[in-house]
Amino acid sequence: MNIGKHKAIQALTPNAKYILRDNDLEWLDEDITRPTDEEINNKIAELQTAYDNNEYQRKREEAYPSVADFMEAYTEKEIGGNSTKWDAYKTAYNKVRTDNPKG
């Protein structure tokens, strides 16, 4: 995903009124100062770096076992006394963490 000008402007001036057409910025807000092109470009770079550095989190989120799997495994272990599903859940959970290490 590429961070665009709109996200950068929102991050710099969340309540500002403006129109962005084909990368041309029309500033409509008299109370909030329009960010400079340099400020916008710096914010784009900052947001893109943050997004790129957190790729492991997005991959983990997609790969983790479901909450339903967790509840079933935990309930069977705690109430039923059978830890088979719990052990399988922990193995799957830890595999996701190993396969998707922090940057």
pLDDT tens for 62-85 read 999 999 999 999 999 999 999 999
75 close to 85: Cβ distance less than 8 angstroms = no
Q: Between 102 and 48, where is the model more confident?
A: 48
Other C-beta atoms lying within 10 Å of the C-beta of residue 45: 12
Q: Report domain extents, the chain.
A: 5-53, 63-99
pLDDT of residue 84: 96
Confidence of residue 44 (pLDDT cuts 50, 70, 90): very high
What's the rounded Cα separation, in Å, for the pair 69 and 43? 40
